[in-house]
Structure 1
Amino acid sequence: MAAIDQEKYERVKKQVENEKIWYSHLFIYITVNILLQLFYAGIFDDGEFTQYIPWWVRFTTPFFWGLNVFVHWLYAFKKVRFTNFYNRWEERKIREYMEEEEEDFIRTIRK
Structure 2
Amino acid sequence: MEIVMENFSQEKYKRAKKRVDELKGFYIHLAVYIVINTFILLNIYMHTDNFWRWEHFITLMAWGFGLMFHGSRVFGVNPFLGKDWEERQIKKYIEEDKEEMNKFK
The TM-score normalised by the length of structure 1 is 0.61
Partner of 1:17: 21
Partner of 1:98: none
| Distance (whole Å) between structure 1 residues aligned to residue 50 and residue 77 of structure 2 | 41
Residue by residue over 1:73-108, the C-alpha shift from the partner in whole angstroms, topping out at 9 and shown as x without a partner, is 111122237xx5xxx8xxxxxxxxxxxxxxxxxxxx
Cα RMSD for the two superposed structures: 2.4
Structure 2: gaps (5+ residues): 91-105
Which of 20, 38, 57 does residue 59 from structure 1 map onto? 57
Which of 69, 72, 84 does residue 71 from structure 1 map onto? 69
Q: Which has the larger radius of gyration?
A: 1
Partner of 1:29: 33
Check the 8 A contact 2:45/2:51 in 1, yes or no: no
* Identity across matched positions, percent: 32
Shift in Å at residue 33 of structure 1?
Answer: 0.6
Structure 1: gaps (5+ residues): 89-111
